[in-house]
Amino acid sequence: MSIPFKYNWRNLRVRWRSTLATTLGIALVVAVFVMVMSLARGLKATYLSTGDPRNLLVLRKGAMAESSSQITLDDVRRTKFLDGIARNERAEPLAAAEIIVLITMDRTSGGKAHMQVRGISPMSWQLRPGIKIVQGRMFQPGRRECVVSRNVARRFENCRYGQRFRSGKGNWEVVGIFDAQRTAYDSEIWVDADEAREAFNRSFYGSIVCRPVDELAAAALIRRIENDKQMQLRALTETEYFRQQTRTAAPIQVFGACLAAIMSIGAAFSAMNTMYAAVGSRAREIGTLRVLGFRPRSVYVAFLLESLVVAAMGGVLGCVLALPLHGVATGTFNWTTFAEVGFECRITAGLLLGGMLFALIMGALGGILPARLAARKPVLEALRAT
């Protein structure tokens, strides 16, 4: 089957005005799709990159989040020294009791947000080796000092290095900035756990992070904690806990999909219009092609291809338009933790591919009917057309 490629390409250039309008239309739809989905991708990626598969997280039974979990001091002591938890060189168990306190902070971009303040124990740093202080120093317990993530320092009022903010019974000074490498910890303020409990009137801890010696020990610990009727706690791997938080992205995904679906139908209509006009005004050319020996099938493919090329150009342009959003930091509300989670928009190769595919579907939808019309035109009639 021969296809008059050159003829198609020249046509696009001659009819550049309507080609441009359709291309831009498709480009904008693709751009919106890629942008909204990059929010969902970024949010998911943040949670999926958080947590260490070797760590266990112990929460109160029934609690869906660290921030709504409570563990009494007795239970913390009992859990910490359970068999199977690894020990460091000084024979201390690798387990850290932590507490999350939610505080209201002002965003630099306006509005308020619930922030997670994580009260940590000294062992917390050993359990999360990926997190490093990049500016200033670690806080000293008892002096109303805190360290914040780089993301928080940028996005919230009074959280820059050296600044102070008031909350609870404290006027907290930011003495250090840490980098949590785009994990969910990047939305947090870290202080000493016991100081947090005192400053925010908590008699309990929230959760325990611990490191079992190996996978077998981990499974045994999970069972052991689950079956302990006295403690009413449950344990799960840290990665599993954060994987569950990815459902925060679901509403954004649904929103993006609905939006894209409706907009794409509109764009397909526009493409169809353009293609019908193209077929209509080129009747004589179609007739000529047929006389020259091109089969109806070739004409059909040629016109469909023309539509697809326009759509592909729109797709590429749309992806390019969306690209600047990559890496832009933003935040949303996680209903489960009841706190803000910061993330960076992520435009992956897969997402771009999705955008292109989406554009091509619009092109195909817009091109099939007009192309069929072109292919079925009787030769003589087409030649006679004015």
Partner 1 sequence: MTFPGLVLRNALRNKRRFTLTLSGVALSLFLLTVLRVVLRGLTDPATTDEAALRLVVRHKVSLANMLFAKYKFRVEKMPGVRYCSKMLWFGGIYQDEKNFFPQFACDADTVFKVLAEAKIDPQQLDRFVKERAACVVGIKTLNRFGWKIGDRITLMGAMWPCNLELTIRGIYSGTVDETNLFFHHEYFDELLGDKGFTGLLWVRAENAAVVPDLIERIDAAFANSDAETKTETEHSFQLGFVSMLGNLKRLIGRISFVIVFTLVLVTSGTMSMTIRERVREIAILKALGFGAWRIFCLILAESFGLAMIGGFAGCLGAWVLVHAVDIYKLSRGLFVNFEVTPRILAQSLLGAALLGIVSCLLPAYGNLKRSVVEGLRAPD
What is the binding site for partner 1 (CB under 8 A)? Answer: 17-18, 20-22, 24-25, 28-29, 31-32, 36, 60-64, 67-68, 70, 101-104, 109-114, 167-169, 200-201, 232, 251, 259, 262-263, 265-267, 269-270, 272-274, 276-277, 281, 330-333, 338-340, 386
CA dihedral 73, 78, 82, 88 (to 10 degrees): 40
Min dist. Cβ of residue 89 to partner 1 (A): 37
Residue 119 phi/psi, 5-degree rounding, is -85, 120
Nearer to partner 1, 7 or 276 (CB): 276
Pair 113, 102: CB distance under 8 Å: no
Min dist. Cβ of residue 232 to partner 1 (A): 7
Nearer to partner 1, 104 or 230 (CB): 104
Nearer to partner 1, 124 or 270 (CB): 270
Picking from 285, 253, 345, the residue whose alpha carbon sits closest to that of residue 43 is 345
Which alpha helices (DSSP H) does the chain contain, by range?
Answer: 5-14, 16-48, 73-80, 123-127, 150-155, 193-199, 215-227, 238-244, 250-281, 283-291, 296-322, 349-376, 379-384
Min dist. Cβ of residue 271 to partner 1 (A): 9
Nearer to partner 1, 52 or 226 (CB): 226
Nearer to partner 1, 192 or 212 (CB): 192
Residue 97 phi/psi, 5-degree rounding, is -85, 130
Min dist. Cβ of residue 289 to partner 1 (A): 19
Pair 102, 200: CB distance under 8 Å: no
Q: What does the alpha-carbon distance between residue 210 and residue 86 come to, in Å, rounded to a whole number?
A: 8
Min dist. Cβ of residue 72 to partner 1 (A): 11
Query: Strands 95-106 and 188-192: what pairing?
Result: unpaired
Amino acid at 90: R
Min dist. Cβ of residue 305 to partner 1 (A): 21
Angle between helix axes 250-281 and 296-322 (nearest 10 degrees) is 140
Angle between helix axes 250-281 and 349-376 (nearest 10 degrees) is 30
Nearer to partner 1, 125 or 269 (CB): 269
Min dist. Cβ of residue 323 to partner 1 (A): 15
Nearer to partner 1, 36 or 85 (CB): 36
